[in-house]
Amino acid sequence: MYIVMITPECAPIAKVGGLGDVVPGLSNELSIRGNAVEIILPKYDCMRYDRIRGLVKTYSGLWVPYHNQWIHCDVYFGFADGLKCFFIEAHNGFFDRGTYYGQHDDPQRFAFFCKAALEFMLKSNKHPEIIHCHDWQTGLVPVLLFEQYKYLGMTHPRVCYTLHNMQHQGVTGGHIIQQVGLDPAAYMTPERLLDHTHPHAVNLMKGGIVFSNFVTTVSSHYLDEIRYTDQGYGLQHTLYVHEQKLGGILNGVDYNVWNPEFDPHIPTRYNLETLDKKYENKTALRHRLWLREEYKPIIGVISRLDAQKGVGLIRHAIFYCLANGCQFVLLGASANDSINADFWHLRHHLNDHPDCHLEIGYDEDLAHQIYAGADMLLIPSAYEPCGLTQMIAMKYGTVPVVRNTGGLADTVFDANYAHKPYHERNGFVFNNFNHEGLESALHRAIGLWYQYPQYFRELMENGMHYDFSWNHPGQHYLNIYHHIQEE
């Protein structure tokens, strides 16, 4: 099958969050299975150009109709970790902002990107069976494909659209419809792109849901949450109307990057059979972070510091764990100034504590060492569409302590309460998003570590047995692609 991914992010060259990991992870799996995959991205000025191989201009003079003008673009080609990527360079400065998102005209920038990606495919005679697009930034792709480009000759592709986070929907003024060459009167209706709360606004994610052939989200639990709770952020009714084309598919983890058996970032490699060697990584982590050597568990957090991730609970957990015989290690970065200031303050306060280290920033190398060296990983999210860190932790024999939400609920099964046989239980889960909820899980986890180490060890091993690779999700997506082709 010939598949084109149209996406705002692709690791390692342009990554902000989990979406950035999903695109190459899934694309690799599809390629291994014999499919031809290409990726189309904006050519951001701030991309990691050092991670692109063989970058060349492949198409000169792509003129894209936008807002009653023709915008001059060029298209570049290069390999990112072996994947074929096309980069759309817009000569109007849309992607020369030194940042991926957060600009006042983000809706225009990405509406334009959708139009330019389709124009490029049309002009370069690309006729994939499947176009797979992601999040609000590419919501206009199926709208423009089926309402404009189909009539220009692109009759072949079917569209799969994946929702990674419903909180950001691309809600903006209705003028954008006109800017991409559509008639606002025809599209600003409740059945199509009209936003549910703002009476004159357009909702780009809604366009993606309405016009795609299939819509997926990144875990089956999150699918239920966005359909039936306020996690849908107003799109519950649209999802209800289109329920026959919805699916929840858990993201995979790239085990070429995340595997203690051959991880180049960790001091001692290990697997299920040599699990005792994990403790050499614990000692090394203590040395690196100036923690004392004592018989205590290390509780880790590796997270964006954002309200979504439960920053208030993380803060509470630090003091709870230190008061209950644990060491605590945090690696986190925040785009929010006040959260950042709060954690810098905490860091100064706890600077000399022999059992605590807070590292504020983004550090790939240290992340690997924490997964390998910690005993438990805490993820107290308010909501979590899929979540990768709990799955990575399990691969490293680190027991996750998580809140019962989204993809965390689909992957972590409580040691005491899960409706699962013992050998499938792999962590600790709490329901209530408050201090009591958090403490109820931490109390049980710490208690088991001290009092029943052999049972704790079983939890570690159970987690390592799970297969969270792209193997299953890859097959699942292929089934969807075949299904929408046959419709």
Report the interface residues with ligand ADP, using CB under 6 A: 17-18, 302-304, 331-333, 362-364, 367, 386-389
Q: Which is nearer to ligand ADP, 18 or 380 (CB)?
A: 18
Does residue 208 contact residue 142 with C-beta atoms inside 8 Å?
yes
Q: Which is nearer to ligand ADP, 375 or 384 (CB)?
A: 384
Give the whole-angstrom CA distance, residue 434 versus residue 380.
9
Going from the C-alpha of 197 to that of each of 239, 383, 432, the distances in angstroms are 16, 22, 29
Kindly report the backbone phi and psi dihedral angles of residue 77, in degrees, each rounded to the nearest multiple of 5, phi listed first. Answer: -125, 145
- CB-based contacts of 309, cutoff 8 Å, min separation 6: 303, 379, 380, 381, 382
Q: Which is nearer to ligand ADP, 39 or 331 (CB)?
A: 331
| Terminal Cα-to-Cα distance of the chain (whole angstroms) | 16
Which parts of 103-202 fold into alpha helices (H)? 106-123, 140-147, 175-179, 184-187
Give the whole-angstrom CA distance, residue 198 versus residue 11.
34
Does residue 164 contact residue 22 with C-beta atoms inside 8 Å?
yes
Closest separation in Å from C-beta 462 to ligand ADP: 21
- The tokens for 317 are 């957990």
What residues form DSSP beta bridges with 205? none
Q: Which is nearer to ligand ADP, 216 or 389 (CB)?
A: 389
Give the whole-angstrom CA distance, residue 50 versus residue 222.
35
Pairing of the two strands 69-80 and 83-90 = antiparallel
Closest separation in Å from C-beta 251 to ligand ADP: 7
* Residue written as token pair 């899929």: 386
206 is in an annotated binding site: no
Q: Which is nearer to ligand ADP, 354 or 361 (CB)?
A: 361
Which DSSP state fits 194? B
Q: Which is nearer to ligand ADP, 18 or 252 (CB)?
A: 18
Closest CA to 276 of 465, 453, 400: 453
Q: Which is nearer to ligand ADP, 67 or 304 (CB)?
A: 304
Taking CB positions, which residue lies at the least distance from ligand ADP? 18
Per-residue H/E/C for 153-175: CCCCCEEEEEECCCCCCCEEECH
Strands (E), 241-372: 246-248, 298-304, 327-333, 356-360
Q: Which is nearer to ligand ADP, 17 or 173 (CB)?
A: 17
Give the whole-angstrom CA distance, residue 170 versus residue 63.
25
Closest CA to 393 of 459, 313, 470, 314: 459
Known binding-site residues equal 15
Known binding-site residues for ADP-alpha-D-glucose equal 15
